[in-house]
Structure 1
Amino acid sequence: MIDIKQIDKSYLPIYDTIPMLVRVESEYAVEPIDGGLGGFLFQLKEVTTPYTKDLGKYEKPSKYEERFDISNWAFFIAFDTDKPNPDGSGPLAVGAITLVGRTPNVDMLDRRDDLAVLWDIRVREESQRLGLGTKLFTTAVRWARKQGFRQLKIEAQNNNIAACRFYRKQGALLGGLNRYAYYDDPDIRGDVQLLWYLDL
């Protein structure tokens, strides 16, 4: 049985333990038409060598407070009450989600007070494809509406096909892309940032 709880920062080390792995077997090749003036062509292509991305190395929730004021952030963890944590401290954390709003110095918020960002969502691999992602997303939307936000913004990458299809299924629309968002990181320099928006 899954129990989704809103948590405070004392639970963030538990949040950290939930892996954020993405299996990449295909990607959207994004090609500009007429230098971008004619739009962009998305083509789904298989990658030459499939691989797994560990997005958890970029996102450590327990470290957020070192960089940001998280007083207006919301954190939720999904616990599987039928599975004990290996250290015996309680039920196993199988999924989590972070929402950000009304926080200075967060570029993703575009200086808007009516915009929330789905900053992080993760589900353990063995708990995927069971509807948990949808439950977490629904929790996020409910929270954002209650806080008075008008839109939810979500970041994904062109090689995270499952995430892109998931956000589209939830009703989000692709509202922007940045081919150079990760240019400073040689490991992911070729990734294209895709920005999804859901009207609330």
Structure 2
Amino acid sequence: MASEANPSPSIIIRSFQASDLAQCQALFSAGHMSYGNAKIYIDHAMRKDISDIDKNYMQVTNGHWWVAVSTEDNRIIGQIAILPLKIGDPSFYKTMSDDECDQTCELIRLVVAPDAQRLGIGKKLISTLFEFARERGFNQVHLTTLTSMDKACAFYERNGFVKGHIEKYSRNDVKVDSSECVILDPNATIPEEDQRQMKMQLDKAAFLYVQHYFRKL
């Protein structure tokens, strides 16, 4: 989730294995903590799907989870996952037309270890996901990230993702499970106070801002 350049020759991308679970959980937690995201936000994701990656990703039709492994020490330093949109973001799935729904997948849980960024790992991971998605008939990738995760947002935009709308939630609703949110149009003028809070760490802001992104394949 950061700016990246030259790919490292000492990295391999492979599918998730059951023995990777603890490392994947720790990497996800470390990545979000580096942005100052609230523990309750991290814990919710852990309980929701990262508690059982094999069941929630590898056993799902057209779902998958990949890890980037350093061949020097066999350490997992990056990860990414894909799910059909109806599973990855079911609330957003319901807002799309029938023609788009089943041709859109969700990019989810992309993390690169803070000490392994700027090595091209994120780009290699999303390239792997794009190839997988095309092979399975998807023609569009959707994802969401917090506006406060500025490095992640910049990374997605450099890799061809286009901004969609922004959802504004109460900070107390960090689960983002409800429909109780305000929709902000990125093409309209966003109030200055919202612009200020959108850049703040989640543990300091009064609201949580979720940015939607799209990319055609």
TM-score by length of 1: 0.71
Query: What amino acid is the match of 2:148?
Result: N
Q: 2:153 aligns with which of 156, 160, 164?
A: 164
- Which sits farther off after the overlay, 13-22 or 171-180? 13-22
Indicate the residue corresponding to 2:93 in structure 1. 110
- Which sits farther off after the overlay, 12-21 or 124-133? 12-21
Structure 1 unaligned blocks of 5 or more: 25-51, 84-90
Query: What amino acid is the match of 1:195?
Result: H
Q: C-alpha displacement at 1:134, in angstroms?
A: 0.9
Indicate the residue corresponding to 1:191 in structure 2. 208
Distance 1:122 1:56, change over 3 A: farther
- Which sits farther off after the overlay, 52-61 or 190-199? 52-61
Task: State how far apart, in whole Å, the 2-side matches of 1:129 and 1:57 are.
Answer: 27
Indicate the residue corresponding to 1:4 in structure 2. 13
Indicate the residue corresponding to 2:113 in structure 1. 124
Q: Determine if contact 1:70/1:103 at 8 Å carries over to the other structure.
A: no
More helix by share: 2
Give the aligned CA root-mean-square deviation in angstroms: 2.9
Q: Report whether the alignment pairs 1:80 with 2:70.
A: yes
Distance 1:110 1:144, change over 3 A: same
- Which sits farther off after the overlay, 108-117 or 128-137? 108-117
Indicate the residue corresponding to 1:36 in structure 2. none
Q: Report whether the alignment pairs 1:133 with 2:117.
A: no
Q: Determine if contact 2:57/2:81 at 8 Å carries over to the other structure.
A: no
Structure 2 unaligned blocks of 5 or more: 1-9, 95-100, 175-201
Distance 1:68 1:78, change over 3 A: closer
Indicate the residue corresponding to 2:32 in structure 1. 21
Q: Determine if contact 2:57/2:64 at 8 Å carries over to the other structure.
A: no
Alignment: residue pair count? 166
Distance 1:114 1:8, change over 3 A: farther
Q: Determine if contact 1:3/1:81 at 8 Å carries over to the other structure.
A: yes
More strand by share: 1
Query: Which gives a bigger RCO, structure 1 or 2 (Cα 8 Å, sep 6+)?
Result: 2
Indicate the residue corresponding to 1:53 in structure 2. 37
Q: Report whether the alignment pairs 1:174 with 2:163.
A: yes
Q: Report whether the alignment pairs 1:93 with 2:76.
A: yes
1:119-148: CA deviation from partner (whole Å, max 9, x where unpaired): 110111110111111111111111111111
Q: C-alpha displacement at 1:159, in angstroms?
A: 0.7
